[in-house]
A and B are shown apart, each in its own frame.
Chain A
Amino acid sequence: MSDSIIHEHSADGIERRGFLKCMAWAGTGLIWTVSGGLLSSCSLLPGATGAPKGIFTFVQLSDSHIGFNKEPNANVTATLQEAIARINGLPQAPAFIIHTGDISHLSKPAEFDTAAEVIKSAKTGRVFYVPGEHDVFTDDGKQYLERYGKGTLGSGWHSYDYQGVHFIGLVNVMNLKAGGLGVLGPDQLDWLKKDVAGLPSSTPIVVFAHVPLWTIYPEWGWGTEDSAQALALLKRFGTVTVLNGHIHQIMQKVEGNVTFHTARSTAFPQPAPGSAPSPGPMKDVAADKLRSLLGLTDVAYVQNNSPLAVVDSTLA
């Protein structure tokens, strides 16, 4: 058992205080638990994928980009199907799935249809969504909301409770401004303030949104302009887990009671910050290595008043 783990995509030049490192071993899952904001234990479950048995588990999927068909992945539908197959093979069936956006690549109806068809075969309860910019950019989110807007407000934000945990889906890909990052906007922040106002501070909070809610690499748009305001509203809570997508790789950070985590894509990997001229798909990926760079995230609520256990696994 090791107390320190090293991430294969180390973020050089990014603030290191509180930066959580994790070891990714192809083909297996990694489990880490955090107590009081610090890594307290880490163990590798031999041959297993998935979080420990918990009060309940859920899965985060992200960036399926249905419609993308270039290097390094000519068939993103197939890799999404493989991710669903992995979910269906988990030792504990997830209570639900959260998709953190970029469901489609070009917001085409056929792309949304295909995604829905594939995800339908997941053995789980509901699937919750927040949009990525690829889902809303052609029509200001009209199609996205037609499909996924039920029970949401504004551009698709919503919250729900599950077994005492409060889940908040935020949308930070609408009304993007030239030169800017992701943005939540005043209406959504007003709603968030009211949404959490009555909750006891001991309520575990999970926030999910497409673009990272912390600044990872502004040059590539990897951050949200007004996320600090959202996080200020959540500061009083004992456990906050932030789940994001958009960057197609795992990054993690712990700051006080807040654990930030981004997920892999099921479609294509993107380079580590600054390691390539642009954040486009990594193309020099050997066909037999592709699936080790794609994956999903299994999250367990292990016990009352403790942070969630987050386990990433790859497709191969």
Chain B
Amino acid sequence: MSYRLQRSLILMLALGFSSLLFAACSRGSDTAGNEAASDGPHQTAAGAATTSAKSSSTEPAGPDQIVIDNFAFKPAKLTVKPGTKVTWINHDDVPHTATSTDKRFNSGTLDTDAQFSFVFTDPGTYDYFCALHPKMTGQITVK
């Protein structure tokens, strides 16, 4: 199979294992509110953000994951329950961002394999796009 597909599968497996191991501890701290964020993303009262440089050594993505591939957010529309942590991961060879249109969240630069997480606590519809390639758009519905 292609190197890219192979890499994606390995990543998914690694994340899957990690989430089994760390599910109990991490879930508890996620919804506590203002988690420390590393360089870049903005925090607001509506949720907490984390950005990681490399995926394998950080918190698990969980099932609510958006993959950035071929200049598109997949899935482009995602519906989650309040309190869910959504994670974006970039599989493209160019950097992207996940930037909300109302400045609620901003992943900052996501280079290849970088990921960004945001906990959506308030119900509503949140539009976002890539600050580098604004034709790339997505939407998170929280209800």
Contact = CB atoms under 8 A, between A and B. Distances in A.
Interface stretch (B46-54, B107-115, B116-124): B107-115
B66 to A, nearest CB: 15
Count chain A CB atoms within 10 A of each CB in B108, B109, B133, B135 and give the residue with the most.
Answer: B135
A180 B132 CA distance: 11
Interface size, B (range) = 20 to 34
B93 A280 contact: yes
A138 interface: yes
B137 interface: yes
B14 to A, nearest CB: 22
A56 interface: no
B95 A178 contact: no
Given A106-B95, A178-B127, A179-B129, A138 B108 contact: yes
B94 A281 contact: yes
Chief secondary structure at chain B's binding surface: loop
B100 to A, nearest CB: 9
Contacts of A280: 70-71, 92-94
Contacts of A218: 135
B109 A176 contact: no
B97 interface: yes
A40 B29 CA distance: 71
Given A106-B111, A178-B127, A133 B93 contact: no
17 contacts: A133-B131, A134-B132, A176-B131, A177-B101, A177-B129, A178-B101, A178-B134, A178-B137, A179-B137, A181-B135, A220-B135, A277-B70, A278-B71, A279-B71, A280-B71, A280-B92, A280-B94
User: Which 5 pairs of residues, A with B, have the shortest CB-CB distance?
Assistant: A178-B129, A278-B71, A176-B134, A278-B70, A221-B135
Interface of A: 70-71, 105-107, 133-134, 137-138, 176-181, 218-221, 277-281, 283
Given A176-B134, A221-B134, 20 more contacts: A70-B112, A133-B132, A134-B95, A137-B131, A177-B129, A178-B127, A178-B129, A178-B134, A178-B137, A179-B137, A181-B134, A181-B135, A221-B133, A277-B70, A278-B92, A280-B70, A280-B93, A281-B93, A281-B94, A283-B93
Interface of B: 40, 70-72, 92-95, 97, 101, 108-109, 111-112, 127-129, 131-135, 137
